[in-house]
């Protein structure tokens, strides 16, 4: 079956569908580094790089060559809806009002209306559910209903789908038939069988000591003060701010000052500026390659651009295994 991936980024969602033999006809994103990474890994792909508000459905159709589209997938930029973004803002109401990313979902809806696929799959952060008291979320669902789709939503944690990471995301899915689609099956009662989760140690342990020997496996050159701080963070814990000597204190310690536990799934991979959480036993932040493994990207997928861009490409992606679970599920439904 044929797929279009809108807001494709570096291709996590696309790759999950490719692994199940879907044909990705076209991908779009505004980020040129994402485009470079995507075409490096899948050189025969069509990738439209530009603002989706300036890519008309007619332009999109001209690249499809008359091919029928079965599924449109994508995740509009989510920082405007993110609870992490809200906490970081000094003026949340102003952020909500003026963040233009909050209305890009309308362009997704326009593309679905024009292309008319059998199914669409819309992915975003869990904060979308309650953003502006849920008004945006309800507007999104109603927009899809108005163009003829039966709409449902599912809040899923990637850890239940073979991803070594707790990452909750909301999926809005719709089809043109009355029958509900549901969501990918969870085969195990995960809350009861915690040992079934994949762990950080399982997926990145073999990379320790092999820094600079793999693509994107380049550690940050941390300063002495940060290394001294990292040494104080226990495995699975965060910076003990109340016990810091004065010379190590700073005003704010975010996600990048949390150390992962090798025996548990990771925290959500939130891309900071050139930084991810701290390695379970090494006194440095994760490399881009380690974060990519936690996002279940294969090692042969390489990320281009400066390091901060690589971090964003990996951190913003839909985990590949979760995307693949959706691909399997939709394949069965269709």
What is the per-residue pLDDT across 129-159, written as a single tens digit (0 to 9) for each? 998 888 999 999 999 999 999 999 999 999 9
* pLDDT given at position 79: 59
Burial of 65 (0-12, 13-18, 19+ CB in 10 A): exposed
pTM score, whole prediction: 0.91
* pLDDT given at position 196: 67
* pLDDT given at position 98: 44
* pLDDT given at position 102: 62
* pLDDT given at position 253: 80
Residue 9: is its pLDDT beyond 50? yes
Judged by average pLDDT, the poorest of 2-11, 49-58, 121-130, 152-161 is 49-58
* Alpha carbon distance 112, 119 (integer Å): 9
What rounded mean pLDDT belongs to the chain?
A: 89
Residues contacting 314, CB < 8 A, separation 6+: 10, 269, 271, 288, 291, 292, 295, 297, 303
Percentage of the chain exceeding pLDDT 90:
72
Q: Are strands 168-175 and 119-125 parallel, antiparallel or unpaired?
A: antiparallel
More confident residue, 70 or 191: 70
Q: Is 293:203 a contact under the CB 8 Å cutoff?
A: yes
Residue 115: is its pLDDT beyond 50? yes
* pLDDT given at position 81: 58
Question: Residue 188: pLDDT band by 50, 70, 90 thresholds?
Answer: low
Percentage of the chain exceeding pLDDT 70:
89
Is 196 considered catalytic here?
no
Residue 110: is its pLDDT beyond 60? yes
The encoded tokens of residue 166 equal 């707790």
Phi/psi region, residue 21 (left: phi>0; alpha: psi -120 to 50; beta: rest), is left
* pLDDT given at position 87: 41
Selected catalytic residue, list 34, 49, 78, 196:
78
* pLDDT given at position 84: 45
* Alpha carbon distance 181, 151 (integer Å): 9
Question: Residue 82: pLDDT band by 50, 70, 90 thresholds?
Answer: low
More confident residue, 182 or 254: 182
Other beta carbons within 10 angstroms of residue 166's beta carbon come to 15
Instruction: Tell me the per-residue pLDDT of 285-305, one tens digit each, with 9 for 90 and over.
Output: 999 999 999 999 999 999 999
Q: Is 166:159 a contact under the CB 8 Å cutoff?
A: yes
Q: Is 69:126 a contact under the CB 8 Å cutoff?
A: no
Helix segments in 205-276, DSSP class H: 224-230
């Amino acid at each position: 079956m044929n797929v279009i991936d809108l807001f494709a980024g570096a291709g996590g969602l696309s790759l999950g569908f490719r692994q199940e033999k879907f044909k990705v006809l076209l991908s779009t994103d505004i980020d040129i580094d994402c485009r470079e990474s995507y075409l490096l890994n899948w050189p025969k792909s069509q990738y439209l790089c530009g603002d989706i508000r300036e890519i008309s459905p007619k332009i999109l159709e001209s690249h499809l060559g008359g091919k029928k589209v079965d599924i449109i997938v994508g995740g509009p930029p989510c920082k405007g809806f993110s609870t992490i973004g809200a906490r970081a803002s000094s003026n949340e109401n102003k952020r909500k009002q003026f963040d233009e990313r909050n209305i890009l979902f309308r362009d997704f809806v326009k593309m679905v209306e024009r292309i008319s696929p059998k199914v669409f799959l819309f992915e975003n952060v869990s904060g979308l559910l309650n953003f502006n008291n849920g008004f945006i979320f309800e507007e999104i669902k109603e927009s899809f209903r108005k163009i003829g789709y039966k709409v449902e939503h599912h809040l899923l944690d990637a850890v239940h789908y073979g991803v070594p990471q707790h990452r909750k995301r909301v999926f809005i899915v719709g089809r043109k038939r009355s029958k509900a689609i549901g969501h990918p099956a969870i085969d195990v009662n995960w809350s009861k069988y915690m040992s079934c989760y994949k762990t950080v140690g399982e997926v990145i342990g073999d990379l320790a000591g092999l820094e600079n020997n793999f693509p994107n496996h380049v550690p940050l050159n941390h300063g002495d003060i940060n290394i001294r701080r990292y040494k104080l963070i226990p495995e699975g814990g965060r910076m003990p701010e109340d016990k810091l000597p004065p010379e190590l204190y700073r005003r704010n310690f975010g996600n990048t000052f949390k150390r992962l536990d090798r025996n548990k799934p990771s925290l959500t991979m939130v891309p900071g500026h050139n930084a991810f959480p701290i390695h379970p036993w090494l006194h440095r932040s994760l490399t881009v390659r380690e974060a990519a493994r936690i996002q279940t990207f294969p090692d042969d997928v390489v990320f281009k651009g400066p390091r901060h861009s690589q971090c964003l490409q990996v951190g913003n992606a839909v985990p590949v295994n979760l995307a693949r679970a959706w691909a399997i599920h939709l394949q069965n439904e269709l």
